[in-house]
Structures are given as C-alpha cells and as structure tokens.
C-alpha cells in the first residue's frame, strides 16, 4: 500500500513538473520592429506588452522570436511556434484569437499633391509605399489597383518606409497613423540636422472600407488559444487593454 501511494505521488509530481515546464515556456513569433507596436531591440511595444500581460495572467513565460511579415504565416502553418502574434486569418489547422490589435491605416499624402482617395483607383499614376505584404493584407481591391500605380513598393522595416516617403521617393504612404506619427517624431531631428525641411502639411484619407484593420494571434493549440481569448476579453472589459495602448 505504501509503495503504491509513493508511486502515485511520484507520478503526480512528474506530471506536474512536466506540465509546469510546458506552461512556463512558449515560443512566440512577432514581426520585425514596428514601433510603437513592436520594438525588437527592447522587446517592448504595444503588442509585445499586451501579449506579456496576457501571458503573466495565465502563468506563462515566453521566448521572443522575430521575423519578416511574409515568414509569419509560414511558421504558423508549419506549427514551429506556439503562438504567432499579429497575423491575418487564413491558415487551415491554425487557431485564431479574437481581434488582438487594430491598426488605423490611412493613405497619407502632402496637401500640395492634391490626392483624394475614395477608391484605390484614385491612386492611379501615383507612387505608393506600403508595409511588407500589404498587397495581401488589404484585399483584392487594393491588390488589383497596384497595377495602375506609377510605382509600388513594400518595406519589411517601416522605419525605411517612412524615410522613403519623407525623402519624397513616394507620394503616398499607406500606413497606420500611430506608426507614422511615431517615426516622424523620431526622424525629424535627423532631417533638421541636415538642414532638410519636411513638408508636414498632410492629408489623411481613410482606406476604402477599412477604418480599422484587425490582427490576430495564431495558435497551434486550440486549448491555449481559448485560454488567451478568455483573458483578452477580461482585459478589454476591465480597461487594461486600453491602458496598454494609451501608454504609447
């Protein structure tokens, strides 16, 4: 009887140890630096901090991995990561969270260029710069319209996207308002130092049919997805979600 009790206790401790180890270590994939949402060098930002708070609430720790946008769905499909943060839905066999983070994307131009965007075809003959994989993220209407742009370029690093636009290499930048304002603030001293004036008399046009573009967390495990969803709903209800965004 004593031996049996000891065996049961031993198995319980081993199982608990394995479960605890499994729970304590997630491998989580984020995109390349996209301040103020993702800052790879400091491992902070709106999206990373939100995910960290969710993980802490559930008792998980995690390892950060970063990759270009186009690689993220590949890793999610392969199941090589426990969680991929900020992806669009579409991979069969993956489990997606409720809306995780929303971007308010605009077509931003200088008022002197007199750009008015009511449909993507209004950008015909214009040079456009966007984030990497925007052609797929923004849907078929946008993808089709890129054929009539005078020039279209995507950037894996949004700092480079904003620099290209500030320097006049493209007329219209497709970008989230928060990201653009962050980089204008960060880059302006560099341009001032070089005695280069910035034309910031800007026009913001909401992208056709897309006031907010929502992104999701992708999981390879449904139970893990359900756990995160539960806490994400709590954070949205109790104000923690809004506070994390407001910090930036």
Distance CA 182, CA 226 (A): 33
Q: Are 43 and 89 contained in the same domain?
A: yes
Q: Which of 218, 224, 243 is nearest to 71 (CA)?
A: 218
Whether 109 and 191 share a structural domain = yes
In this structure, is residue 80 part of a structural domain?
yes
Query: What is the residue-level pLDDT of the chain in tens, covering all 248 positions?
Result: 444 444 444 444 434 433 444 455 999 999 999 999 999 999 999 999 999 999 999 999 999 999 998 899 999 999 999 999 999 999 999 999 999 999 999 999 999 999 999 999 999 999 999 999 999 999 999 999 999 999 999 999 999 999 999 989 999 999 999 999 999 999 988 876 776 777 789 999 999 988 799 999 999 999 999 999 999 999 999 999 999 999 88
pTM of the model: 0.81
Tell me the residue range of the domain where 122 lies: 105-206
Same domain, 170 and 84: no
Rounded CA-CA distance 217/231 in Å is 13
Same domain for 113 and 198?
Answer: yes
* Domain membership flag for residue 229: yes
101: left (phi over 0), alpha (psi -120 to 50) or beta: beta
138 lies in some domain: yes
Report the alpha-carbon distance of residue 211 to residue 178 in Å, rounded: 14
Q: How many CB atoms lie within 10 A of CB 225?
A: 20
The helix-helix angle for 177-193 and 158-166 (nearest 10°) equals 60
The answer to whether residue 133 sits within a structural domain is yes
Q: Is residue 165 part of a domain?
A: yes
Q: What are phi and psi for residue 170, nearest 5 degrees?
A: -140, 150
| Whether 115 and 159 share a structural domain | yes
Q: Are residues 126 and 171 in the same domain?
A: yes
CATH code, domain carrying 162: 3.40.190.10
Residues 86 and 36 occupy one common structural domain: yes
Q: Are residues 164 and 178 in the same domain?
A: yes
Same domain membership, residue 96 and residue 218: yes
Task: Note whether residue 10 is domain-resident.
Answer: no
Domain-embedded: residue 14: no
Q: Look at the alpha carbons of 54, 59, 65, 71 in this order and tell me if their dihedral is positive or negative.
A: negative
pLDDT at 21: 41
110 and 44 belong to one structural domain: no
Query: How many domains would you assign to the chain?
Result: 2
Instruction: Write down the pLDDT at residue 195.
Output: 67
The DSSP code for 197 is -
One domain for residues 173 and 54: no
Give a yes or no: residue 3 inside a domain.
Answer: no
pLDDT in the model for residue 122: 97
Instruction: For residues 97 and 219, state if they share a domain.
Output: yes
Nearest Cα to Cα of residue 72 among 177, 241, 206, 217? 217
């Amino acid at each position: 009887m004593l031996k049996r009790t000891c065996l049961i206790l031993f198995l319980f401790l081993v199982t608990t140890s394995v479960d605890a180890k499994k729970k304590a270590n997630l491998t989580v994939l984020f995109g390349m630096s996209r301040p103020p949402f993702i800052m790879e060098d400091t491992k902070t930002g709106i999206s990373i901090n939100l995910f960290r708070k969710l993980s802490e609430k559930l008792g998980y720790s995690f390892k950060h991995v970063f990759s270009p946008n186009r690689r993220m769905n590949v890793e999610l499909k392969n199941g090589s990561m426990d969680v991929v943060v900020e992806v669009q839905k579409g991979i069969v066999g993956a489990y997606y969270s409720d809306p995780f983070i929303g971007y308010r994307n605009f077509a931003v131009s200088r008022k002197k260029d007199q750009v008015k965007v009511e449909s993507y075809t209004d950008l015909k003959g214009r040079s456009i710069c966007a984030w990497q994989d925007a052609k797929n993220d923004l849907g078929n209407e946008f993808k089709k319209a890129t054929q009539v742009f005078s020039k279209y370029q995507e950037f894996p690093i949004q700092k480079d996207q904003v620099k290209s636009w500030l320097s006049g290499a493209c007329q219209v930048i497709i970008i989230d308002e928060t990201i653009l304002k962050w980089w204008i603030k960060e880059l302006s001293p560099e341009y001032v130092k070089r005695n280069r004036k910035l034309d910031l008399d800007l026009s913001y046009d909401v992208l056709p049919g897309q006031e907010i573009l929502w992104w999701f967390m992708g999981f390879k495990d449904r139970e893990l997805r359900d756990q995160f969803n539960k806490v994400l709903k709590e954070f949205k209800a109790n104000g923690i979600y809004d506070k994390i965004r407001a910090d930036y």
